Chains A and B, each alone.
Chain A
Amino acid sequence: MRHMTKMALLAVGLVLAACTNSGLYSGNNGPGSQSGATAGSVDDPTSIAHFQQVVGDRVLFAVDQSTLSDEGRLTVLAQANWLLDNPEYTAVVEGHADEQGTREYNLALGARRASAVRQLLVAQGVAAGRISTVSYGKERPIEVCSAESCYAQNRRAVTVLAAGATG
């Protein structure tokens, strides 16, 4: 496990930590460093918090679409780089849909979204065995209003890290 506690990164991390809401269903307790005041927090670039908040753990989709946007694509490329730098982690890509749509269709749509992210990660060289997918359809919204402002946040694929077998 690397320890790269640079002051610059620390400053960026603190700012982001103050304004970013980590995912409701994403764990925050990965195999981060156990020593040092900042280990495992956002300023530790090997930490899950850093992945979530600096790299970006999620991409958003247009209505009924599973094609990555340009912005989403950049996020997934950054995720791929991070995963290549941090081979001790595996990831589950969770696909989600907004509440507009029938339950089973949305399950399949969420799977399409998760798969789009996984395919790009693998194309970037992340070992296929490290990345699995799961769809929650419309079962796990993070925003609860019935308006596009919430729907846009719910149409997402979230890359959730876990400690891999190679710890």
Chain B
Amino acid sequence: MKIIRIFMMTLLAVVWLVPAALAQNGPLRIEITEGVIEPLPIAVPEFIAENAAARSVVADVTRTVIADLVGTGLFREIPPAAHISKVENFATPIQYADWKAINAQALITGAVSVSGGKITVKFRLFDVFSDKPLGEGLQFAGTQQSWRRMAHKVADAAYSRITGEGAYFDSRVVFVSETGPKNARQKRLGIMDYDGANVQFLTDSSAIVLAPRFSPTGDRVIYTSYESGFPRIYVLDVASVTRRVLEDNSGTMTFAPRLHPDGNTVIYSLEKGGNTDIYRMGIDGANPRRLTSNPAIDTAPSYSPDGKQVVFESDRSGSQQLYIMSADGGEAKRISFGPGRYGTPVWSPKNDFIAFTKQNKGRFHIGVMRTDGSEERLLTASFLDEGPTWAPNGRVIMFTRETRGADGVSALYSVDVSGRNLKRVRMNGGGSDPSWSPLQ
């Protein structure tokens, strides 16, 4: 199959309004790590259609902005029926008293115009109880088909200003789409927006595919496929949907590939004669170099954001545990010491945590620990949770949850690094092995 993904979109973020008060330290601020109990009430009146062509899309754009923000669990929407003021003109001054009266802490207004196949979305964010805008107004423009991205960018800007954290809504997830019964499961690579919209398939289901990972720039995907009959590493160009096998040593199995932050080096596992070690090679398949050498299973490597270290799992102690070594190999230091088994470590893009899968007493957990192994915290518990991936801002984790039994299915879930806001990603069909892209 062939997908032609049109991404010729020009994306401009232009300062739109005269600068208002920036980076204020007023009340409109959520510290995500501080244990938010009560979601912040926000008002987002339907964006204004600035021309006739925009009328059909304003409701969708507005709902997408609201869904992004409310979906974090940090915000609560005050329904339009409760609004006192109607925002009918984007330039009209805000009646703060009307928004204070309904206890809206933040107000987002927006306007949309559509012409010549292009959509332009403007927005402003207000700190209602400080009587002033929070940051400058912004304008985003792109192809009309990319209206969701424009909405995600609006929500990203609002989220970042209010939380002080990096944005993540304008991102995608590559995953393994799953259909069919457990003993005849069909798998294929899928790609979608972070919220489950716009699913497209990158491979057919003729061969098993496993554990895709985005390149640091989001334009390529590296994964394992049984296309040749044996597990091999492939690199796929997302825009052209063309793929090539990276390495083909017969008599061996290569799997668990991830890219170095520089995008030019692949770290992966190679199995030979039943023994699995970690290797690295160039993205062109050149200069393979062995990084671990022992009879244990060494796999699931993940680079630190600076590319200088690697966290991986090994059963060299007798059971799966997490280790950190230099990106050049050498001595590895064990960092997991709690009860149970630890696997699939993934280094946070913020460099503050390592997410992992833990198995203990017949249950699976997604957890995080500091990079020295301290402050271990389990975020989930179920029959089978595995394979965490970090949102580009390092505050949200997506993972696979599989249900028990003959009718068991895989689905994608997400959870905050705090352990709050556990929810299923809304998408059609089953999925596993998500990998979150960088911010687009």
Contacts and interface: CB of A to CB of B under 8 A. Distances in A.
Whether A and B are associated in the same complex: the answer reads yes
Interface of A: 24, 64, 66, 99-105, 107-109, 111-112, 114-116, 119, 132-137, 139-146
Interface stretch (B3-11, B145-153, B381-389): B381-389
Given A100-B359, A111-B276, A145-B406, A105 B183 contact: no
B193 interface: no
A133 B250 CA distance: 10
B251 A24 contact: no
B343 A24 contact: no
Nearest to A109: B297
B406 A108 contact: no
Q: How large is the interface on B (under 10, 10 to 19, 20 to 34, 35 or more residues)?
A: 35 or more
B159 interface: no
Contacts of A104: 210-211, 255-256, 269, 299-300, 343-344
Contacts of B343: 101-102, 104-105
B288 interface: no
Nearest to A154: B183
B271 A102 contact: no
Contacts of A146: 383, 404-406, 408
Contacts of A105: 297, 299-300, 313, 315, 320, 343
A7 B175 CA distance: 55
A132 B313 CA distance: 26
A163 to B, nearest CB: 15
Interface string B335-366: 00000000110000000000001010010000
B384 A99 contact: yes
Contacts of B182: 141, 144
A14 B269 CA distance: 45
Interface in B213-270: 229-231, 250-251, 253, 255-256, 269
B185 interface: yes
A142 B406 CA distance: 11
B433 interface: yes
Nearest to B358: A102
Given A102-B386, A146-B405, A115 B274 contact: yes
A145 B183 contact: no
A108 B315 CA distance: 11
21 contacts: A99-B384, A102-B300, A102-B343, A103-B210, A103-B211, A103-B344, A103-B432, A107-B210, A107-B253, A108-B299, A112-B274, A115-B273, A133-B274, A134-B253, A135-B231, A137-B210, A139-B210, A144-B182, A144-B183, A145-B406, A146-B408
B357 A102 contact: yes
Contact of A112 (B251, B297, B384): B297
B136 interface: no
B61 interface: no
B386 A99 contact: no
Given A104-B300, A144-B406, A111 B185 contact: no
B300 A139 contact: no
Contact of A101 (B187, B253, B275, B359): B359
A132 B151 CA distance: 52
Interface in B270-288: 271, 273-276
Q: Which of A111, A115, A146 has the most CB of B within 10 A?
A: A111
Given A112-B274, A115-B274, A119-B274, A139 B208 contact: yes
Contact of B402 (A99, A116, A134): A99
A108 B386 contact: no
B330 interface: no
A103 B256 CA distance: 10
A126 to B, nearest CB: 15
A108 B276 contact: yes
Interface in B165-217: 181-185, 187, 208, 210-211
A142 B255 CA distance: 23
A134 B229 contact: yes
A140 B359 CA distance: 21
A145 B274 contact: no
A111 B211 contact: no
A132 B251 contact: yes
B274 A107 contact: no
